[in-house]
Chains A and B, each alone.
Chain A
């Protein structure tokens, strides 16, 4: 083999905007050899996905390749006709997209969407053969009962199942190259690991080359032989994975590696109890056919204590009931049984007036800063809203308080007249934190508050949260599925699975000597955990 399978030279991609064009990818060079796995790492907006989409010329909107060359298997793809590209897509280059929720057409059955891919790349096959092949593809991708599930629709599949379907489609024609664009970032860590393992087995067996796109340096190092780091549209570092991880040269890569090695925090043990939850359960009635309904226990006999001034992390996969616990604590859902005491007062017995007053003392910050800020309110009004609702201070005093809060979350005052759409994800989450702090609460419930953020932004927000906790003596309930964050922020950890708390202990104990199989699985599934 003297020439690489894929060779990209001086690639540039541009998107038009109102002021002309924006260069999203500039001067990108990379080589990929047969059977090799290469990871492209970068934060959102770094151009890593755009590079991948440029290879098969499926750039979104009006984006176009402005220069350079992409040679795949001896053919130049830049400037190739639509029909030449159709011949390459699917059969030569497979593609596994990022979000399993939005990448299958909701109105066609799973079977139809797999058969369609097979029929397009094997023109000679008759209907029966296509169906048999589709079942085989799905079984290989890890859907054991594929022949029974062919007629089902995407909404009847879980996220992990859908991702398996998409991997099956990507590999259905035995392509020479598979482009996997963040194939598992929308999934739980344990599911993520099984799927990546499976993908690795399949591609190794068929000697398929893989381009793996990810924001997670640990995952990249664990899965790929070579890493290319992209930052602001340019390749800033490239080399063998372990080399990049151990001796990062570019300042950006150094920061990424440092963020992974963040020191565990000094423990706050606390003395008096701020929140005590005893034996709460939540049972939902799931409507069945006709008038029947079946009970579903989301939270099963959970007891917790949070000491004042400390952080308790509640960890679990989606569906484990962790957010339901938070909702009950905030008084947004009523527990079916059990009691919740905040500062020694039982929430259940409170009338609406008392509950309203209680909310001054506990405030939430949610996962999605796009969804939790009103797009029609500017930042100053957003932060001042809790003050207005609770009739705190005069207009002048409220403005002074907003100023102070923006200062506390390290945002400039100039931002106060802007709207959420004009801010970055990290800035939005800071605004959400400032809003939560407006009423000087004692308890802040952080429901996946940093999960949607890029690694470096995540580190900054975590640092901010830790500083605010010390300054304002805050108590945190920190809900997350991501154990790597827990180490940095939490004093104690409760692991939830299927509505129950399976393990509880100090952060140090949970990480150094986990008692339960389930906790060990979660810890093992942290990408690149063993590499650092």
Chain B
């Protein structure tokens, strides 16, 4: 297993350099001069502009800029944003917030989605199954900002169960409402995935054999149906977790969550090369880590999958 992990980490290296180079190039190629934009409506002072260009290495050719940037990363320096704040600091303040939000969303997805999907799958064609399919279809087809505004209005303003917007701290209790909103889409998909997977597993021969041993219905469901049905669900959840880590721009905007999505969006608008590239780099690394974790989870769920052979 360790050999496999080492191999996967080595495989991540070219992905790391490739994506950073690509993103750096795309930011470099964006139209408009970010330094000129900084002056806004005021006239451009050529001396200051030149000084800024030198400070941010914008007077160097593209590949030199990239190498300076990468060299910095390996010394723990992610560069400086135009507001003078080190990018490393921005990363350290936004990623934990988004991580908390994503965790809340994923936990809700798993618990609610799997529970409803399991019951629906076991009662195929009955009213619970039919209504869960209708509800999940409604959730899938409603845009997230509608769900966000509606739940903000009801839970925060009418019922006063939660705060309408999140404070600068963005601690766990405050993030529960935005987390629920973020989870709705995932819950809907997981209900459907779990349901169809449970129906398929329940008709397998080994389930009949399990009953023929004299096992009770609840034991067959827990031991033989649920575990086998979790493999497609784990795939979906890990992809979804990866997407959530990259930040949910709309939800973060509505609930004023100081997370990755909002910050990255603003950095792109301002054309801040180092900030954008640093965020994307961290995202790529997180995504690779989540992927590796998924593959290891597969092996834990299904003994037929073994990587060291």
Contact = CB atoms under 8 A, between A and B. Distances in A.
Interface of A: 53, 56, 58, 60-61, 82, 86-91, 94-95, 97-99, 102-109, 116-117, 120-121, 153, 155, 166, 169-170, 172-173, 287-290
B223 A108 contact: yes
Interface string B222-240: 0110011000000000000
B88 to A, nearest CB: 39
Nearest to B210: A105
B208 A60 contact: yes
Nearest to B205: A102
A90 B228 contact: no
Interface in B156-195: none
Interface centre among A107, A155, A169, A290 (most CB of B within 10 A): A107
B153 interface: no
7 closest cross-chain pairs (CB), A and B: A90-B214, A95-B212, A117-B213, A102-B205, A89-B214, A153-B303, A105-B206
A287 B309 contact: yes
Contacts of B50: none
A103 B209 contact: yes
A106 B208 contact: no
Contacts of B205: 97-99, 102-103
Contact of B214 (A105, A107, A117, A287): A117
B215 A116 contact: yes
Given A107-B227, A153-B304, A116 B213 contact: yes
Contact of A86 (B209, B215, B228, B303): B215
Interface centre among A95, A121, A172 (most CB of B within 10 A): A95
Contacts of B216: 86, 120
B209 A104 contact: yes
B213 A106 contact: no
A120 B209 contact: no
Contacts of B208: 53, 58, 60, 97, 103
Contacts of A169: 209, 213
B65 to A, nearest CB: 40
B212 A89 contact: yes
Interface centre among B204, B206, B208 (most CB of A within 10 A): B206
Contacts of B309: 287-289
B308 interface: yes
B59 interface: no
A106 B214 contact: no
A108 B308 CA distance: 20
B206 A104 contact: yes
Band of interface residues on B? 20 to 34
Contact of B212 (A60, A97, A104, A287): A97
A100 to B, nearest CB: 10
A155 B208 CA distance: 19
Given A107-B227, A107-B228, A102 B204 contact: yes
Contacts of B215: 86, 90, 116-117, 120
Nearest to A95: B212
Contact of B304 (A89, A97, A155, A290): A155
A98 B216 CA distance: 22
B304 A106 contact: yes
A97 B301 contact: no
- Say whether chain A's binding surface is mostly helix, strand, loop, or mixed: loop
Contacts of A103: 205-206, 208-209
A120 B213 contact: yes
Contacts of A99: 205
B265 interface: no
Contacts of B211: 56, 58, 89
B301 A95 contact: no
Contacts, number: 89
Contacts of A109: 303
A99 B219 CA distance: 23
Nearest to A121: B214
Given A99-B205, A102-B205, A289-B308, A90 B212 contact: yes
Nearest to A99: B205
A61 to B, nearest CB: 7
Contacts of A173: 214
B240 to A, nearest CB: 23
A111 B271 CA distance: 61
Nearest to B207: A105
B217 interface: yes
A88 B309 CA distance: 44
Given A86-B215, A87-B214, A116-B215, A106 B209 contact: no
A90 B210 CA distance: 9
B209 A107 contact: no
Contacts of A153: 303-304
B203 interface: yes
B302 interface: yes
Given A97-B209, A97-B212, 17 more contacts: A60-B203, A87-B214, A89-B212, A89-B214, A91-B214, A99-B205, A102-B204, A104-B209, A105-B224, A108-B223, A108-B224, A116-B210, A120-B213, A120-B214, A120-B215, A172-B213, A289-B308
B274 to A, nearest CB: 41
Interface centre among B208, B217, B304, B308 (most CB of A within 10 A): B208
A39 B121 CA distance: 37
A95 B206 CA distance: 12
Given A107-B303, A116-B223, A289-B309, A102 B214 contact: no
Contacts of A88: 214
Contacts of A95: 209, 212
B91 to A, nearest CB: 38
A120 B213 CA distance: 8
Nearest to B308: A289
A429 to B, nearest CB: 24
A102 B303 CA distance: 15
Nearest to B230: A107
B212 A58 contact: yes
A56 B203 CA distance: 16
A154 to B, nearest CB: 9
A166 B303 contact: no
Interface centre among A61, A97, A103, A170 (most CB of B within 10 A): A103
A318 to B, nearest CB: 20
B228 A105 contact: yes
A103 B3 CA distance: 33
B217 A82 contact: yes
26 contacts: A58-B208, A82-B217, A86-B215, A89-B214, A90-B214, A97-B205, A97-B208, A97-B209, A104-B209, A105-B210, A105-B224, A105-B228, A106-B228, A107-B228, A107-B301, A108-B223, A109-B303, A116-B210, A116-B213, A116-B223, A117-B213, A120-B214, A121-B213, A153-B303, A166-B209, A287-B309
Contact of B213 (A87, A90, A107, A290): A90
B203 A106 contact: no
A44 to B, nearest CB: 16
Contacts of B3: 290
B213 A89 contact: yes
Contact of B206 (A58, A82, A91, A102): A102
A88 B227 CA distance: 26
A146 B3 CA distance: 30
Contacts of B227: 107
A291 B290 CA distance: 27
A87 B301 CA distance: 31
Contacts of A120: 213-216, 219
Interface in B280-309: 301-304, 308-309
B122 to A, nearest CB: 14
